[in-house]
Amino acid sequence: MTKATPHVHGPECDHDHDHDHDHGHVHGPDCDHDHDHFRAPYVRETPKIGRNEPCPCGSGKKFKRCHGAAL
């Protein structure tokens, strides 16, 4: 099975451009299709704990040597 290469539109392009599926479409100022399929970025409820920061459990060890070791 061969992989299809994305079509590059140019002055000699003669196929139908009114299709609903994506063939490597590059979004630009004239793009008119739905963009709601992009997900919002993940936002943490609490700040991320750095590996070298003290463990929040209060042990006095670095996070990477305490509760971070299991990750």
Residue 71 has pLDDT above 90, yes or no: no
* pLDDT at residue 70, rounded to an integer: 85
For residue 62, the cross-strand partners are 54
Closest CA to 46 of 56, 59, 54: 56
Q: What is the pLDDT of residues 4-63, one digit of tens each?
A: 666 666 767 766 655 555 556 677 777 777 666 678 899 999 999 999 999 999 999 999
Closest CA to 22 of 39, 2, 37, 40: 37
